[in-house]
A and B are shown apart, each in its own frame.
Chain A
Amino acid sequence: MHSESVVNDFVVKFANVNGSGSASANHLFAKAVFRSGVPVSPRNIFPSNIQGLPTWYEVRVSEKGYTGRRGGADIVVAMNAQTFFDDVNEVESGGYLIYDSTKPTDVGVLRDDVTFLGIPLMDICLHEFGNITQRHLFKNIVYVGALCALLNMELGIFKNLIKEQFKGKEKLVKPNEKALDIGFQYAHDQLGGPIDFRVERRDLLSNKILMEGNDALGLGAVYGGATVVGWYPITPSTSVVEAFSKYADQFRVDEGTGEQLFSIVQAEDELSAIGMAIGANWSGARAFTATSGPGISLMSEFLGLAYFAEIPLVLFNIQRGGPSTGLPTRTQQSDVVSCAFASHGDTKQILLFPSSPTECFEFSAQSFDLADRLQTPVIVLSDLDLGMNDWCCDELQWDDSREFDRGKVLDAAGLDAVENWGRYRDVDSDGICYRTYPGAHSSKGAYFTRGTSHDSDARYTESGAAYVENVERLLRKYETSKKYIPKPIIDYTEGKKTSYGIIYYGSTEPALRESLDELLEGDLPLNALRIRSFPLHAEVYEFIEQHKTIFVVEQNRDAQMRQLIISQQNVDMSKLVPILHFDGTPITERFISNAIKDYLDPKVMPFSLGQGKRAI
């Protein structure tokens, strides 16, 4: 047992049955922590199922602002009989387990280093609520009320959240408040009130919000001016389009006529979804599609067409786990190589790697400018962890003076002003040519877009020389893209010299920042570089040059970013040590720190490349 209470630094894990209404109750708890001014990171670990399979919801409370997944749990709310024994084992020594004690069980014998707190949830709800649905759903709210008392939180915060949640459905406020009160009172009277873990009010979140990455991508697409969306439902990308739809309904309906200044079409498959986005971009509307996992494979042919015919396109890939159907509701960064070179033939795509919902919003809006400027697909690689969980992140900002960059487009006046226009003529020597939209001019600017080899005037050709000239120009354009895409962010440890560096990207950010602090505390300073886009900037290679050893931290088996680094420029491969996490759960500080410490510990040998997930 703790001698004194642990304040604002612990993990609560809820173990529930999928489809039992627990997610919104658990979210209520996480949001209440946020409203207490304390950094919080909820993570929904859910199955590919609608009802019945086990699901978990982890809430990390961290005053220091560490919002990566920590691993382990100090308090487990065990509401699922199927996983009960595993959940008991999950509790860290000195922790608590909350369970439904309606049926007498002797759980105390299972662990003597854990405090078991029983609440007769079923019994309480049976007596307090008449309606069968309410009896089930309010069990969740009752345990949230109990947690409020046990963690010494303010009940008023929870009640305000309930009022906001059911605005317009006031009938539901009272029974929810009642369930909260019952749980609170029970924990207070029967369980002895606050335990050793406490939430204390702070004011650490004045400029922060709690947002899902997919929500931010959808909103960014509204700000970025997208008007056409073709999509096909697939987890975990579906909520990107749902978010776009929600915000477009809010901001893109003409007040006078009720007409929609956008269009969303649910396609018959991913091929059609990306085809629609390509057709619309070709015709001068900003358009995107979103997909995951198998969707990327299905879209590959069209990605090659858009690359070769030079059509702007924005594709949000919310990565999930594994080859084939793999781990559809788990997280990985395992589409890096397949997206970088998506499609047959010599193809290279532009990739962006956001690492927070804030950056999802920015990159989403920016991706439409990049696609138009570079006349090529821009693939934004997020993942399930970032996309479908609420992240505590910087609030969103927008500069009203910002204009859309539509790139090199000739309208009627533009066509009249130039002589000898040709669709693929590199007149500016940057690899980017001037395009026209269909119908732009009554007699000029028409051309035939094709995926077959073409000359600089878009005419079909099988000439080897014309082909080589064309694809070499595409390489020039790819080089030009580095001027526009987000540069890496480099953090040198202050005041300490080190020969060790870390390269990472995407949703690894919070766990990695925490790991840097942890290693620094153990007198192991590391410099860090976060890759934000592909093709890679010169800064990445300079950073590698500056260090003796570079740890490349990724959430995939095959060290895919390391492969990209090696493939783009001459580099000493032996310097690049892969740290790979790929079991489908979000990477943790413990995992990264332990892997690096083990590598540097002469007693732990050997550390082979591609070693993969190591015991935490």
Chain B
Amino acid sequence: MSYMKKPQFRHPHIVENDIGFTRRDYEGGMSTLCAGCGHDSISSAIMQAVFELSIEPHRIVKLSGIGCSSKTPTYFLGKSHGFNSVHGRMPSIATGANLANKDLFYLGVSGDGDSASIGLGQFAHVIRRRLNMLYIIENNGAYGLTKGQSSATADVGSRSKKGETNIYNPIDVVSLAIDMGATFVARSFSGDKEQLVPLIKAGLMHPGFAFIDCLSPCVTFNDHVGSTKSYDFIREHNRAVNKTDFIPMKNEITANYPEGATEVIRSHDGSELRLQKLESEYNPVNRAAALDQVVRARQSGTVLTGLFYVDTEANDLHSVLNTSSKPLNQLNKNQLCPESDKLKSINESLR
């Protein structure tokens, strides 16, 4: 419905979050994606998560590459700065922006073409560098804007709308992220907001590189029988390893969880991740075990979702580089520019 303007109507009893913002403050422009697109559900989950976290919109930086998914940052958080960069290169832009100002939240939105094909290198390397950001791949196994070609995450045997069967091995972005050293790795489904919203909240607050592979069916080009990225296929094969709840530090914990089935993971800042275990043997703080689970599920044709791995000791690029606690973009001439007497001594050393 991209031709419609959003109504300005404001409900008299609209709910405000802790800092006095309403959901409307986290909205963006009207979506121009196809009706029913999974990506729009993810945008909505992002808005809900940021609203619930009570983060002021201007403290979020939205970044994307090129593709349907990369268009979505226009459709949420309209009061945040956004950067729609070039195809597959969002991670490097995010790296530079984050280096310049460590005090903001960085949210990268990418697609399977953007991250698993043209941008696979940048995707792998931004993980290696432990950039403090939440990176979401809106994964539908197909190229939308160029009309339905299979992407690098399409499963072998999966059929495109035109009837072509994918013959190439899929790249599993989740196992790649775990292997490259991501300190928060999850998979979710655009159709399961209950699972997705807490993951986005936890990912945004994670003090290192957080990754969510979010399956997001393409209703126009990849939602048919024979596709392994369709709504029906994912619903039929989805198996969640756990259910997450994120409790920010400042909230008093009142929720009532059944003993034994819930694992509490505490972060440095006092926030808590509460995982309701759906599979008793699953332990999300063990990287090798996480990788093992993910690979086994892939082999069995199961669409495994949930929080697979989290490192409670996570740190980020700034701590590795030991950069200034004051953001680099706020340093002034006196802090940055040596005085002329220093230059005199350099001149002397060059004679």
Q: Which residues of A contact B (CB under 8 A)?
A: 34-35, 205, 208-211, 219, 222-225, 227-228, 230, 247, 251-252, 254, 257-265, 267-269, 271-285, 287, 301-302, 305, 395-400, 403-404, 436-443, 446-452, 460
Contacts and interface: CB of A to CB of B under 8 A. Distances in A.
Contact of B323 (A260, A439, A460): A260
Interface in B322-347: 322-325, 327-329, 331, 333, 335-340, 342-343, 346-347
A225 B336 contact: yes
A258 B322 contact: yes
Contacts of A437: 81, 101, 329
A211 B58 contact: no
A223 B324 CA distance: 18
B99 to A, nearest CB: 5
B181 to A, nearest CB: 14
Interface stretch (B90-98, B200-208, B291-299): B90-98
Choose among A209, A254, A272, A443 the residue with the greatest number of B CB atoms under 10 Å from its CB.
Answer: A272
B329 A285 contact: yes
Contact of B324 (A259, A396, A448): A259
A400 B339 contact: yes
B69 interface: no
Contacts of B79: 443, 446
Given A230-B95, A252-B336, A396-B343, A442 B58 contact: yes
17 contacts: A209-B347, A210-B350, A210-B351, A227-B329, A228-B99, A261-B328, A263-B318, A272-B125, A275-B91, A278-B92, A280-B96, A282-B96, A282-B100, A305-B86, A398-B343, A446-B79, A449-B82
B95 A209 contact: no
B58 A439 contact: yes
Contact of B125 (A34, A247, A267): A267
Contacts of A228: 96, 99-100, 328
Contact of B101 (A223, A273, A284, A441): A284
Interface residues of B, number: 59
A268 B324 contact: no
A285 B101 contact: yes
B336 A396 contact: no
A451 B84 contact: yes
Contacts of A436: 81
B59 interface: yes
Interface in B63-113: 73-74, 78-86, 89, 91-101, 103-104
Contacts of B340: 397-400
B212 interface: no
B84 A452 contact: yes
B61 A302 contact: no
B329 A275 contact: no
Given A230-B92, A272-B95, A282-B93, 5 more contacts: A263-B323, A279-B93, A397-B343, A448-B84, A451-B86
A392 B61 CA distance: 47
Nearest to A454: B84
B56 interface: yes
A275 B89 contact: yes
Given A227-B100, A275-B96, A277-B96, A261 B331 contact: yes
Contacts of B74: 448, 460
A440 B74 CA distance: 19
Given A259-B323, A265-B129, A447-B81, A223 B350 contact: no
Given A259-B322, A396-B343, A397-B343, A282 B104 contact: no
A394 B85 CA distance: 42
Contacts of B339: 398, 400
Given A219-B346, A260-B321, A398-B340, A282 B95 contact: no
B324 A254 contact: yes
B41 interface: no
Nearest to A398: B340
A378 to B, nearest CB: 17
Contacts of A400: 339-340
Contact of A449 (B58, B81, B129): B81
B36 interface: no
Nearest to A35: B351
B121 interface: yes
B92 A283 contact: no
Interface string B24-35: 000000000000
Contact of B336 (A227, A278, A397): A227
A205 B351 contact: yes
A39 B322 CA distance: 43
B122 interface: yes
B93 to A, nearest CB: 4
A301 B92 CA distance: 13
A263 B347 contact: no
Given A302-B89, A404-B333, A263 B122 contact: no
